[in-house]
Amino acid sequence: MTREDIEAWLEDYVHAWTTNDAADVARLFAGDATYATAPYREPWRG
Protein backbone atom coordinates (compact mmCIF):
# COMPACT_ATOMS: atom_id res chain seq x y z
CA MET A 1 0.00 0.00 0.00
CA THR A 2 1.38 3.37 -0.98
CA ARG A 3 0.92 6.81 0.48
CA GLU A 4 -1.27 7.64 -2.51
CA ASP A 5 -3.50 4.62 -1.75
CA ILE A 6 -3.97 5.84 1.82
CA GLU A 7 -4.68 9.41 0.73
CA ALA A 8 -7.26 8.17 -1.79
CA TRP A 9 -8.96 6.04 0.88
CA LEU A 10 -9.07 9.00 3.25
CA GLU A 11 -10.64 11.18 0.55
CA ASP A 12 -13.26 8.48 -0.02
CA TYR A 13 -13.84 8.31 3.76
CA VAL A 14 -14.45 12.06 3.97
CA HIS A 15 -16.81 11.81 1.00
CA ALA A 16 -18.74 8.95 2.62
CA TRP A 17 -18.89 10.89 5.90
CA THR A 18 -20.37 13.95 4.21
CA THR A 19 -22.88 12.07 2.03
CA ASN A 20 -23.81 9.55 4.73
CA ASP A 21 -24.70 7.21 1.87
CA ALA A 22 -24.63 3.51 2.77
CA ALA A 23 -23.12 2.55 -0.61
CA ASP A 24 -20.30 5.09 -0.21
CA VAL A 25 -19.52 3.75 3.25
CA ALA A 26 -19.71 0.10 2.15
CA ARG A 27 -17.10 0.67 -0.56
CA LEU A 28 -14.55 1.60 2.10
CA PHE A 29 -14.50 -1.74 3.94
CA ALA A 30 -14.25 -5.47 3.31
CA GLY A 31 -17.48 -7.44 3.56
CA ASP A 32 -16.48 -9.01 6.88
CA ALA A 33 -15.20 -5.79 8.47
CA THR A 34 -16.44 -4.35 11.75
CA TYR A 35 -16.68 -0.65 12.53
CA ALA A 36 -16.94 0.70 16.06
CA THR A 37 -18.93 3.93 16.28
CA ALA A 38 -18.37 4.30 20.04
CA PRO A 39 -16.38 2.47 22.71
CA TYR A 40 -19.25 0.52 24.30
CA ARG A 41 -21.68 0.15 21.40
CA GLU A 42 -22.04 -2.98 19.33
CA PRO A 43 -19.94 -2.46 16.17
CA TRP A 44 -21.46 -2.44 12.70
CA ARG A 45 -20.69 -5.65 10.82
CA GLY A 46 -20.39 -6.32 7.11
Each domain of the chain, given as residue ranges in start order, spans 3-45
Q: Which helix H or strand E contains 41, and what residues bound it?
A: none
pTM to 2 decimal places: 0.67
State the pLDDT at residue 5: 96
pLDDT digits (tens, 9 = 90+) for 2-46: 999 999 999 999 999 999 998 998 899 888 988 899 999 999 887
- Residue 21: how many CA atoms within 13 Å on its side-chain side? 11
> Phi, psi (5° rounding) for residue 43?
-70, 155
pLDDT number for residue 35 = 85
How far is residue 39's CA from residue 31's CA, in Å, rounded to a whole number?
Answer: 22
